[in-house]
Chain A
């Protein structure tokens, strides 16, 4: 079993839809949870960074962490074609700087 599981997609949604992206994990020691967006042939761009459980909102993006279920989510409201990219979740424990990445979910927002 991988430490971090993420559905690779692709996930296709119409413009304006609410997108839900998810990751599950097995290591209960993970404390830091990140979401990155990666466009084709580019480096990942940090979208959200959360510590422990709870919600965090930034513009159209909301990150949720449910440590009891070992489940994290990223919601994108009013999705745009420019949101089409691969979304990677990443996690780390408090004692290390090493990130464990999910495989990424490819999102396509159709105009």
Chain B
């Protein structure tokens, strides 16, 4: 149980284009989803917290107009990187937090590697 999927697993895009990453909780309902960014050999940096049906809360220093987050349902959140630039190349990981019992922990997706050329 507690499976989180991400799609795509890897994406290469050209500078200036937008990329959408999906995060799904497959076997539980997630009222809260989190989006992280991870650079090589570094820890996870929280970008934003999204709750189903409401606006995302962004961490300090994260541009909300650049990283658009939509938490449309209890099982789906999307992150759109708009007008991507090479410095946005990174490993993006989502996590989902359930509503009861053991699902209070954060369960992570497998990550999406974004390369902007």
Q: What per-residue 1/0 map shows which CB atoms of B26-60 lie under 8 Å from chain A?
A: 00000010100000011110100100000000000
**Interface check A45, CB cutoff 8 A:** yes
- Complex Cα distance, B97 from A49, in Å, reads 13
Decide if A99 touches B111 in the complex (CB within 8 Å).
Answer: no
Residue of A at shortest CB range from B42? A103
**Interface check B107, CB cutoff 8 A:** yes
**Category for how many chain A residues contact B:** 10 to 19
Residues of B within 8 Å of A29, CB to CB, are none
**Interface check B21, CB cutoff 8 A:** no
Beyond A41-B113, A43-B93, is A101–B108 a contact (Cβ under 8 Å)? no
Chain A residues 81 to 108 lying within 8 A of chain B, measured CB to CB, are 88, 90, 97-99, 101-104
- Complex Cα distance, B47 from A101, in Å, reads 13
Residues of A within 8 Å of B95, CB to CB, are 43
Decide if A42 touches B110 in the complex (CB within 8 Å).
Answer: yes
Distance between B35 CB and nearest chain A CB, rounded to angstroms? 12
- Complex Cα distance, B93 from A8, in Å, reads 20
- Complex Cα distance, B105 from A90, in Å, reads 11
How many inter-chain contacts with C-beta < 8 Å in the A-B complex?
46
- Complex Cα distance, B108 from A88, in Å, reads 13
- Complex Cα distance, B23 from A20, in Å, reads 33
Residue of A at shortest CB range from B46? A98
Beyond A97-B49, A98-B46, is A46–B105 a contact (Cβ under 8 Å)? yes
Residues of B within 8 Å of A102, CB to CB, are 43
Residue of B at shortest CB range from A51? B104
Decide if A43 touches B43 in the complex (CB within 8 Å).
Answer: no
21 A–B contacts from the bound complex (CB under 8 Å) = A36-B108, A41-B113, A42-B111, A43-B4, A43-B6, A43-B109, A43-B110, A43-B111, A44-B44, A45-B108, A46-B105, A46-B106, A46-B108, A49-B105, A97-B32, A97-B34, A97-B97, A97-B106, A98-B49, A102-B43, A103-B43
